[in-house]
Amino acid sequence: MPRRGRQDGLAALARGVQRLNSSGCVGTGSAAMAYRAAEGAAPASLAGVALPASVSYRHVTDEFGFSWVELTSGSDDDLVPALVAVAAAVADPDAGAGDPLCALMGWRGPAGRLFAIVFRFDTGTFYPFVPELDADADTRQRDNLTELRLRDLLDWTLPMERDLRLWGALWDAPGLR
């Protein structure tokens, strides 16, 4: 199924926000959506997209050439509808902006550890990404145990990706800083 048809599943993240908040996690106020821009296309136009007043955005191109829309807000509750609106705008075939790849929302766990809940548009599923923040930037590792614990925490709340091989690392992704 094309990614364009999966953006509706992203709205389920609102339930995940409630579950994470009740578990002592705090949103970072940042989220982002990656998309493969159509060849020769300008960044996705968000003019006319109804975003909550508390949400600001910027366009970013990562080191791999993927386009991102990074969102920030003082309200985590506003980030989910903003992500859904951005995904719909990017996927609109009349706009021709591109193909949504993934969306993420940044969090801090009870101990202050940074992580993201990631939505894959191709499968319509979520997974956690927990980078090990090490002083040695050359060593990138993931905290797999915490990722599995987060999966278990959210398992009855969100459609979680079962295939761990599809849990892609999103090092230095906008929205996870």
State the chain's mean pLDDT as an integer.
87
Question: What's the rounded mean pLDDT across residues 98-107?
Answer: 92
What percent of the chain shows pLDDT beyond 90? Answer: 58
- Within 10 angstroms of residue 14's Cβ, the number of other Cβ atoms is 16
Task: Report the number of distinct structural domains present in the chain.
Answer: 1
Helix (H) or strand (E) holding 86: helix 76-91
Q: 39-66 as b/e, with b when 16 or more CB fall inside 10 Å?
A: eeeebbebeebebeeebebeebeeeeeb
Residue 3's pLDDT is 47
Which domain, by its residues, includes 34? 3-38+54-166
Q: Does some domain include residue 97?
A: yes
Maximum average pLDDT range among 21-35, 37-51, 89-103, 137-151 = 21-35
Give the separation between CA 171 and CA 127, rounded to whole angstroms.
15
Judged against a pLDDT cut of 60, whether residue 26 lies above it is answered with yes
pLDDT of residue 1: 36
Confirm whether 70 is domain-assigned: yes
* pLDDT tens for each residue of 116-137: 999 999 999 999 999 987 656 6
Q: Is the pLDDT of residue 176 over 50?
A: yes
Structural domain contains residue 177? no
